[in-house]
Amino acid sequence: MNLGRGINFGNALDALDGGPRLPLEHRYFDAVAAAGFDTVRLPARWSAHAAAAPPYTVDPAFFRRVDAGVAAALDRGLQVVLNVHHYSELCAAPEEHRPRFLALWRQIAVHYAGHDNRLCFELLNEPRDALTADRWNTLLAEALAVVRDACPERTVIVGAAEMNSPDALPALAVPDDDHLVATVHYYAPFAFTHQNAGWVPGAERWLGRGWGGPADEDAVRDDLARVAEWGRDRGLPVFLGEFGAFSAAGMASRARWTAFVRTEAERLGLSWAYWEFGTDFGAFDPELAAWREPLRRALLGR
């Protein structure tokens, strides 16, 4: 499955308490489709809307919210990546939360079993902490088997531990499956892309850092070339599922970095989804109901 050019609707179905929040309005899907994107990634915080005890039932009201987002995208000809996002409890205590995680995927897979194959699943956003590579490889295979019981041919996206870092790809055990896509997230250099990000201790020290020049470009080339080579060696498509620079960075540098990462990804045959549509990394300004033109041009090249 070629996911092409995508954008994340972050901070909507995955919003954290007290964080920025994006309402999933139809006009936003209209804007994405009209701009020329191919895919919407819908991060969803299922763990905040499911029972804590077996059978770990997902709240029907949350399913309806997710259904509305999926339908809005598909109705506009967009592909959809639907994931499990912000399941921090699983990353902190994998054995304790394993049954609940598998139960979530059992419900999700059954619920969407009859949907268009333009909808694909991403098993877990950014596994980390106690969910080490070995533990994640085991759990990943178990979750994929659960999905395959209901959806034998749906595209499933898998990423490595250590927050989907490109450096962690060699430790990812890819199951034998004909309908897989690998994913990585890319935010390098972190001191540029996350300057003054409130959730990163000390990030205010990075304020004013720019990006550009031969050394910066070579670093991106090298990083993404390793990702592409890993995928080629395994005959596996690779999806750059997140990349973006926080709004505190200067717009000229944000646009340069975004354009360079995007063009390198495309040159190497990687599909991608920018992080994100309309909040603190946003390429779109909801208040003005307009794209931030430097970022739109950086992403779409026109």
Which are the catalytic amino acids? 126, 242
Give the span between the Cα atoms of 19 and 139, in whole angstroms: 29
Q: What residues are paired with 238 via a beta bridge?
A: 182
Tokens of 276: 């994100």
Q: Taking Cα atoms as reference points, which of 242, 275, 298, 288 lies closest to residue 31?
A: 288
Give the span between the Cα atoms of 292 and 254, in whole angstroms: 11
Beta-sheet pairing, 284-285 with 290-291: antiparallel
Q: How far is CA 92 from the centre of its chain?
A: 20
Give the span between the Cα atoms of 266 and 150, in whole angstroms: 33
Neighbours of 109 (CB within 10 A): 19
Q: Taking Cα atoms as reference points, which of 295, 293, 294, 209 lies closest to residue 244?
A: 295
Q: What residues are paired with 186 via a beta bridge?
A: 243
Taking only Cα atoms into account, the Rg of the chain, rounded to an integer number of angstroms, comes to 18
Q: How far is CA 28 from the centre of its chain?
A: 18
